[in-house]
Amino acid sequence: MKKYYTRACNFYYGSISKEKIKKNLSLPLNGNNLISFDKVELLTRKSKKIISLKKINLLPKQIKNKINKDVKNITKKKIFQNLNFLNNTNIMGVLNLTPDSFSDGGKYLKKNLAIKKFKKLINEGSEIIDIGGESTSPGSKPVKEEVELKRLKPILKIIKNFDHFVSLDTRKSSIMEKGIKSGVKLINDVSGLNYDLNTTKILKKYKIPFVIHHMLGNPYTMQKNPNYKNVLLDIYDFFEKKLSHIRSFGIKHNNIILDPGIGFGKNLKHNITLIEKISIFHSLGLPVMLGISRKRFIKDLSKKNDSKERIGGTIASSLFSMMQGVQILRVHNVNEVKQAIKVFIKLKFK
């Protein structure tokens, strides 16, 4: 039997969106009246077709019921802790406490520099700060638990002194538990909860919010000829299976974020497809996060115009993602991305 997937498309913004919704000509994306849609792309493994919302009820019953269920998930408000998804995209600021992260490795190894950066990310307006003590960039190898914990300690010790939403980027359950006890409010495991089999037990025990992240293979091998039958639908299926597993394990809360993992076992074509079609993941009914900051695809696209921090490419892909309703963007240059979003919102969402 064919499996059908639903992707919201043909978006409207700002006052136009509000007017369309008022006249029942479009539906709000994620409960946000500033972004709405009036068409969906219906996909299978062998076909794709764009149809207007008003024609859904003309489809065969089985397909109609599937799309209507997906549309319900697409339009509902996504509630997640104290984060506000209705006004604009939330920014997750990156704080790598490592010597070898692909972009800023070694910059914040010293305690005073790490704390200074942490405070800077707060002042720049990061809704979330993501701290990590192990590099998972292409080609990197695992580090020992004691090494990772030592790198994290300067920030873990001060978290409770700040009323801020802190995320912990780790694959190890023991590190997760120590982070949670220190005041971490979100677990961001890039392995998709696959690296440490005890991870799910920790998530259940503490009822902690977490990110389901997709990665093909592991950091050391993930960029060695990554291959998919259909990158968009393969990752969608991965999320569905993972959600089914954690539900069967007894995790019932909806404080879960989905991240398709740009650059984690994907080539340029895979990355571009995921960003272009990112709105498909809204039909899973959970907030969507993207980590596009300074990624290799920016270099591949800009070629001779590449730069060290890739701020231009990061901002461009951030704004595009925001227009598809992505709720969280994980970035390094928080102030610049915040500035771009504020200006863009005034121009586009008026």
Answer whether 27's CB lies under 8 Å from 37's CB: yes
Which residues contact residue 154 at a Cβ distance below 8 angstroms, ignoring those fewer than 6 apart?
A: 97, 111, 114, 115
DSSP string, 273-337: HHHHTGGGGGGGTS-BEE--TT-HHHHHHHGGG--SS-HHHHHHHHHHHHTTT--EEEES-HHHH
Instruction: Report the distance separating Cα 123 and Cα 112, nearest Å.
Output: 17
- Cβ-contact 134, 148 below 8 angstroms: yes
Concerning whether 45 is annotated as a catalytic residue, the answer is no
Q: Helix (H, G, I), strand (E, B), or coil: what is residue 5?
A: strand
Q: Write the single-letter amino acid at 255.
A: N
The one catalytic residue in 172, 277, 330, 338 is 330
Residues written for the chain: 350
Under 8 Å CB-to-CB from 116, ≥6 apart: which residues?
none
- Exactly one of 20, 295, 296, 338 is catalytic; which is it? 295
What span, in angstroms and rounded, lies between the C-alpha atoms of 268 and 262?
A: 9
CB distance 210 to 170 below 8 Å: no
| CA pair distance 255, 212, nearest whole angstrom | 11
**For residues 148 and 196, is the Cβ–Cβ distance under 8 A?**
no
Q: Which residues pair with 273 in a beta bridge?
A: none
295 catalytic? Reply is yes
* Residues carrying an active site annotation: 295, 330
